[in-house]
Every structure is written in C-alpha cells, then in structure tokens.
Structure 1
C-alpha cells in the first residue's frame, strides 16, 4: 500500500482521517489532520471511497465546504472507525474538515457554521466568547463536542435572549475506552431558533430556553461511531 503524505502537519494528532481511493480501506490514501478547502490542490479531488478515522469528519461534495455551491455532505464520527462511502457519494468529495479540537479528543467545544448542515464559514471556540466576530448574526448550524452545555446569546457580551444547547445526541466508545460526545444541530431554524441570530457564547447553561437536538439520520451505526449522508 502506498502512502502519499501527511497534509499540513507532520506531527500525529489524535483526530485524523485516512482517506482511501478504493473501498475497504485499500489503495492509495492520504492521512488528513487539517482542513482542506480544495482537494484538487493535492491531486485528490473526487477520489475518496472509504476512510479509517477518529473524530468527527465532514466530507463535502464541493470546494470551500459547500460554501459557494450547495452539495451533498457525508459525515463520519467515531473512534478508529472504518467506513465505506455509499455509492451516491463515492468519489465526489472536494473538501473536508473535522469538528472540535484535533489535539484534544472530546474537549468541550462548539463550532457554529454560516450554512445549514455544517457548510460554509465557521467560528470555533472552547471558552466564553463575547463576540462571534465574522460569524456574528451568521450562524445556521452548530456542532458541540465534549460534555459541557453552551449558551448562545443574541447580543454581544452575553446579553439579549439566550438559548442553551447540549452535546446530547451521540456518544462513541472506542475499543480502548476513548469516548466522544456530540451535539448536532444541523438546522437552527428547524430546531426552533431564528437563523443568523447569535452574537456571543458562554460555557454552561444559563437559560430556560433549552434547544433540543435531533440525532442525524445515520446510514450505519456501531458502538464506536456512526456515519450518514445529508442530502440537499
């Protein structure tokens, strides 16, 4: 088996994706440990058919994480989980990224995305944030990792209306005991929260307005992970 290279970082991180150009984790592969907005820049566009990975990874049909053009999203989360992509998303991935902290698995964190279903630009945080900066009034979906709730506010500096989100949708346990917890909110508007509404975030739950998360529809699931397609 031939290996291309580690992308962007030579140091091994616990969050990784070995992406293969054949099913069954065979053929040539890249080890990804960082975001790639355009896989054609490394000669691996539309080449992914299976993965072996740890963490939450999102595979997008188009470049720039489907931010410029809508497309399918394939997601996989788990601990040392091996997955073959279904035929409808075989060989279509043009960009990819992970969610959470690639150095610290299951760290308490949030990522808010400009588009629904984790597409487009993002803002990542693991501490109280008085301003969402470029994602202010732009968030349409959220992924939480770890065990902590997070409160999102409609004004800067933790003011205005407040909504509490929880990482309560998915829990993966690896054979070595590694645990990953997630909260998935693919569409804030579908969860009953106004779209493009938040300006600051605080760790913990400080609101009676609890936003219920719905597990993403999985194509497959095991004790150490799950995977599925978000069709658009």
Structure 2
C-alpha cells in the first residue's frame, strides 16, 4: 500500500484593530479558550473549550464544528484521541473569529492546544509522535537531557513564547543540533502570542524520530526558523516565513490523503 501525504495550507486572515497597553502585565481576558460553532460565521450550537478534549462527542460537538472564536494555538483532529486520519485543522491567533475551509468543516472529533498550561505566551515546547502535530506528546518548559519513553519517537513539534529552543539528535545535548525560534506573532488589544511549528522532521532536514534532547536558548548556528520581526506599538507584525503581514488570527488546514 502506498501512502500519499498531500499538505495544503489555506490561510484565512482576519484584520482586527489593536492597541498595546503600557504597564499592564495581566488582564482578566488574557487566557486561552476556543468557542466552537456548528455553523459558519460563529452562529449555531456552540461550546467553549479551555482544556484538552479527546472526544468531542462527550460535549455533543463531534463532527459539527464549522467556525470558531478563540485565543491561542489550537489543533482540531478528525479522529478521537488527537489522531489525524485525513485532516487536521489549526487555529492560531488572539480574540478573533473565522470560518474553517470546507475541508475542515464537520470533521473534528478531538481538539487540544499547544503551549504552556500556565500562561498563554510562556516559553514552552510540545513534541508529537505523529506528523502534523498528532498522537501522544512530550511537553515542557525546562531542559530535557532525554525524552524518556518518547526517545526517538518525535515527528513534529510546536514552540511558543519568546525563547528559542535547541533540539539535539543525541542524549544530554549531544549530537547534531538544530535551533528553532517562534517565528509567528499575533497581537490583539494588548494580548500577544508567539509560536512556531514543524509538521515533520524533513523541515529540519532530519530523518523522522531523531530528537533525543532539548535545551532552552539557541546554542548553535543552525537555525530552522528566524526570530519574528516585531512592529513596535502596533497590532501588525510580519512573519519571516510568509510574505503577508498578519493580524489577530490565522486558520490553517492540513490535509493528509491516504491512498
């Protein structure tokens, strides 16, 4: 049997005005959430998620989500327990609403966020056993000299916050290293999120299942993502990996077609 993976990236941009608030370190609405709707344009039956949800049928939202309003980096899967059979759909943004592309509508059976559970834009990494951010994960905010049971099993990853992370192909920060910065940035009304993601290890130029340790900071010259260029005092920032300037939100659909 031949497996054909076809990745299609569809970005839907929503423009939203924003203004930074000086001297504010915490806000009552500075938290991660996702409100899912059963119809386009944020109408219909809805449910608000704050945590990982491995089975959307438990809250009567299985295979019905068409649109969302959310803050954070959220991943929706077409199977329970965060498995991507054919389609996974990704939202990253701050306090914005949008309708998913048709290929993502009425498909989600589980969802979860990437990033720290302790703060929206804390420095954090999520390492996944499947490509396209699927399967079980090893996650944390501290250096890891080894990945325990996840050793030589990582196929994709997300980093959030403002720190770079260095990944190694050897235990105890040895072997071939690669540095990765969060290269995407969204801001809205003084709330920020920085993120970067790798759908599969080929984006590192590495074989699958190569990562064995991870350390905070950029300790090598091999950089797979450059630091994001920030626009001081404004809501628009540019992503170094894309030509468009983005504000508030983006939705990405990743289709994996198995033949």
The TM tier, using the shorter chain, reads 0.7 to 0.9
What is the CA deviation profile of residues 64-105 of structure 1, one whole-angstrom value per residue up to 9, with x for unaligned ones?
Answer: 2126xx220111111001011122221110010100024311
Cα distance change of structure 1 residues 84 and 19 upon mapping to structure 2, 3 Å threshold: same
1:196 aligns with 2:209: yes
What is the CA deviation profile of residues 31-61 of structure 1, one whole-angstrom value per residue up to 9, with x for unaligned ones?
Answer: 1111111212332210111111000001111
Partners of 1:25 and 1:126 in 2: how far apart? 34
What count of residue pairs does the alignment treat as equivalent?
A: 216
Give the RMSD, CA atoms, in angstroms. 2.3
- 5+ residue gaps, structure 1, are 1-11
Partners of 1:84 and 1:222 in 2: how far apart? 17
Q: CA deviation at 1:133?
A: 2.0
1:225 aligns with 2:242: no
Candidates 22, 34, 52, aligned match of 1:35: 52
Partners of 1:189 and 1:195 in 2: how far apart? 7
What is the CA deviation profile of residues 146-177 of structure 1, one whole-angstrom value per residue up to 9, with x for unaligned ones?
Answer: 11111112222222222111111x11011x12
Q: 1:187 maps to what in 2?
A: 200
Partners of 2:143 and 2:166 in 1: how far apart? 9
Q: CA deviation at 1:126?
A: 0.8
Partners of 1:229 and 1:127 in 2: how far apart? 30
Q: Which is bigger in relative contact order (C-alpha 8 A, separation at least 6)?
A: 2
Show structure 1 runs of 4+ deviating over 6 A: 213-217
Matches within 5 A, 1:71-110: 71-110=86-125
Cα distance change of structure 1 residues 93 and 216 upon mapping to structure 2, 3 Å threshold: farther
Partners of 1:31 and 1:42 in 2: how far apart? 10
Partner SS for 1:121: strand
